[in-house]
Amino acid sequence: MPLEQHARENIDRLLTAAGWLVCDAERVNIHAVRGVAIREFPLKTGYGFADYLLYIDGKAVGVIEAKKAGITLTGVETQSDKYTQGLPDGLPRWSNPLPFSYQSTGNENRFTNRLDPAPRSRSVFAFHTPVLLAEWLNNPPAHTVQQSLPQYYQTGSTFLARLQQMPPLKEEGLWPAQIKAIHNLEQSLKENRPRALIQMATGSGKTFTAISFIYRLIKFAGARRVLFLVDRGNLGDQTLKEFQQYASPYNNFKFTEEYIVQRLQSNIIDTTARVCICTIQRMYAMLKGKELAEDLEEEPVDKLGGLFKRPEPIEYNPAIPIGTFDIIVTDECHRSIYNLWAQVLEYFDAYLIGLTATPSKQTFGFFHQNLVMEYNHEMAVADGVNVNYDVYRIRTQITERGSKVESGYAVQIMERDTRKKRWEQLDDDFSYDPNQLDRNVVAPDQIRTIIQTYRDKLFTEIFPGRSWVPKTLIFAKDDAHAENIVEIVREEFGKGNNFAQKITYRSYGAGGAKPKDLINEFRTSPMPRIAVTVDMIATGTDIKAVEVVMFMRAVKSRAFFEQMKGRGVRVIKPDDLQSVTPDAKAKDHFVIVDAVGVCEQDKTDSRPMEQKPTISFEKLMHQKEKRSCHRHH
């Protein structure tokens, strides 16, 4: 099959999937359905043939120029521009020249919207639906109430056009850094820059900043729908609460009183919602047409992405058109731009806005180096938005240099998957280095020494004068290591189960409490005092009362270390702190207890190592379903 014919077959398939009726010029009925795509349409003398002429509601609206795969499409824009001006006289049309033009190989597509100011072509995953193009043509947008039509809707029929007429920002209640971030982002959007990155320190109000600009983009620029992507379910719940608490500075309505905000927990998008909060895992599954097991929403995306043999490509899903969202805000974006997750961001024809406290070099690259705001921890401390930290170092010989078990001794072996224990006698000396500690080798005495030192120095050197153990977050190497730490913490402090809790993806509390319920208890209740985690609370999760962050694991990624460290930087009102830690006067700093030298190790900008790919998406879903059924029975 010739390459151009193959391209046309792919174009036909994409058009049909997007809701267009594709037909030949000699058998056309432009009123058959709302959107009709006519192949090989003859234009005026000297203009040739349009590969596809698009009709909406009986009037010509645009053209598609088809090319074989491998052709660079920006070079054929002038050809399709010419076709938009060549419609024979007397034929019904929306405007002259026609407002929309595409160039396509069936694999790659570019689109120009001439309703925009300074029209510029952009890459799109597929074709827009006739419904969306019709909405752009009918000014004002369909969802706007006619009798209260504000002035900014009179100035343009597209989101980009209305952006040019945004009213001034009301700055009351915003920190200077938040004001600057919103001003810079809106300027970037006005310039039609497709991607923007906001770097703001943990605890400096990234989410509030995002809700503030989302509100303005909906209210004043007519954004039809915004997708707010998170990478864990508990962060989605936390984000929804912040939307519910946000009060408009323009009319004092709460955000959720004025607009519908959907927290997506199924595969159905509420078409009346103006904001959809969703995990990137769920959106990937939705685009793949799959159901998502609930516990997968709590798995780290960097680990989950590595489970697949290869990034399974997303294909066009007619149930979720590419124009579903005008804006995508992706929180903790330093984690969501790798592997299969980047496909989710690039599927939609939307502006991408990344939020992070710790961008890597790859993050800058993905967002086209368009850093619209930079506000780091040091700046936040200087402004009183973050608290600073002290480092308390605990050294053990075994942590620093490893150790040796001599031959003839019996050692306890624990099977990693089943945690079944057995004793074996060593035939040869067994030496191990610090990197094997708590992974290949568990040395309970070393854990006990660290916890004893923390206990003995806590009220004399770390927080002198206190009697309540400060809210403490301990980072362990893996789930088994966390289990050992929790057991030893309870024993050495002489406390019960509620004093120290493990909060990992495998945690289930009393009465079947889920990990997010355990996080909420740690955040708002006096108990537990100590939480042990691997990476579930490492990023994004807001626990303002934490005053001690203890590292019992090494961290080689600079970004991940900054995120983990960031669990302690958030400011908290004295009354709120005293409600969970009664003898605390105020939080003016937090303490990093470093038991492994993590503060002294060199860090890199590299992303986390991917797990060895093992299973397909379908098999992963099936295993999760079986695990869920087993747990409930």
Tell me the per-residue pLDDT of 553-564, one tens digit each, with 9 for 90 and over. Answer: 888 778 788 888
Of the pLDDT bands very low, low, confident and very high (cuts 50, 70, 90), residue 5 is: confident
User: Among 131, 194, 129, which residue's Cα sits nearest to residue 159?
Assistant: 194
CB-based burial label for 139 (10 Å; 0-12, 13-18, 19+): middle
SS3 content of the chain, % helix, strand, coil (to 5): 35, 20, 45
Q: What percent of the chain has pLDDT over 90?
A: 59
Of the pLDDT bands very low, low, confident and very high (cuts 50, 70, 90), residue 156 is: low
pLDDT of 598: 80
- Structure tokens that stand for 228 in this block: 């707010």
Compute the distance between CA of residue 577 and CA of residue 582 in angstroms, rounded to an integer. 8
How confident is the model over 312-356, as pLDDT tens digits?
789 999 999 999 999 999 998 877 676 678 899 999 999 999 999
How confident is the model over 109-145, as pLDDT tens digits?
999 999 999 999 999 999 999 999 999 998 654 444 3
Of the pLDDT bands very low, low, confident and very high (cuts 50, 70, 90), residue 608 is: very low
pLDDT of 555: 82
How confident is the model over 519-553, as pLDDT tens digits?
889 999 999 999 999 877 655 577 899 999 999 88
Compute the distance between CA of residue 469 and CA of residue 456 in angstroms, rounded to an integer. 11
Q: Residue 39: enclosing H or E segment and its boundaries?
A: strand 35-42
pLDDT of 85: 92
Q: Which of 187-191, 364-368, 423-427 has the lowest mean pLDDT?
A: 423-427
The Cβ of residue 1 has, within 10 Å, a number of other Cβ atoms equal to: 7
SS3 6: helix
Residue that wins the pLDDT comparison between 311 and 6: 6
Name the amino acid, one letter, at 629: C
How confident is the model over 465-506, as pLDDT tens digits?
999 999 999 999 888 889 999 999 999 999 999 999 999 866
Residue spans of alpha helices (H) in 358-419: 361-366, 377-382, 397-401
Q: Which of 69-78, 93-102, 464-473 has the lowest mean pLDDT?
A: 69-78
Is the CB of residue 485 less than 8 Å from the CB of residue 515? no
SS3 262: strand
Please provide residue 607's backbone torsions phi and psi, each rounded to the nearest 5 degrees.
-75, 165
Q: What percent of the chain has pLDDT over 70?
A: 79
Compute the distance between CA of residue 438 and CA of residue 594 in angstroms, rounded to an integer. 16
SS3 535: coil
For range 214-231, the mean pLDDT = 96
Q: Residue 23: enclosing H or E segment and its boundaries?
A: strand 21-24
pLDDT of 516: 79
User: Residue 404: pLDDT above 80?
Assistant: no
Please provide residue 22's backbone torsions phi and psi, each rounded to the nearest 5 degrees.
-100, 130
pLDDT of 534: 86
Compute the distance between CA of residue 202 and CA of residue 376 in angstroms, rounded to an integer. 8
SS3 136: helix
For range 32-38, the mean pLDDT = 96
Beta strands in 320-464 (DSSP E): 327-330, 351-356, 371-375, 388-393, 403-405, 410-414, 421-425, 430-432
* Those residues with Cβ within 8 angstroms of residue 296's Cβ, 6 or more apart along the chain or in another chain: 281, 304, 620, 624
User: Among 265, 547, 530, 232, which residue's Cα sits nearest to residue 387?
Assistant: 547
* Those residues with Cβ within 8 angstroms of residue 491's Cβ, 6 or more apart along the chain or in another chain: none
SS3 90: coil
User: Residue 239: pLDDT above 90?
Assistant: yes
Tokens 């809790």 map to which residue? Answer: 501
DSSP 150: -
Of the pLDDT bands very low, low, confident and very high (cuts 50, 70, 90), residue 426 is: very low
* Those residues with Cβ within 8 angstroms of residue 494's Cβ, 6 or more apart along the chain or in another chain: none
User: Residue 170: pLDDT above 90?
Assistant: yes
User: Among 387, 371, 357, 384, which residue's Cα sits nearest to residue 175?
Assistant: 384
Compute the distance between CA of residue 20 and CA of residue 576 in angstroms, rounded to an integer. 57
Count of alpha carbons within 13 angstroms of residue 607, beta-carbon side: 18
Specify the pTM: 0.81
Integer CA distances (angstroms), 205 to 209, 210, 375, 588, in order: 6, 9, 11, 18
Compute the distance between CA of residue 111 and CA of residue 77 in angstroms, rounded to an integer. 9
User: Residue 309: pLDDT above 90?
Assistant: no
**Domains in the chain: ranges and CATH:** 3-137 (3.90.1570.30), 146-382 (3.40.50.300), 388-400+442-600 (3.40.50.300)
Is the CB of residue 549 less than 8 Å from the CB of residue 565? yes
pLDDT of 456: 94
Compute the distance between CA of residue 424 and CA of residue 422 in angstroms, rounded to an integer. 7
- Structure tokens that stand for 51 in this block: 């590969």
pLDDT of 291: 87
Question: What is the rounded (10 degree) CA torsion for 362, 363, 364, 368?
Answer: 100
How far is the first Cα of the chain from the last one, in angstroms, to the nearest whole number? 55
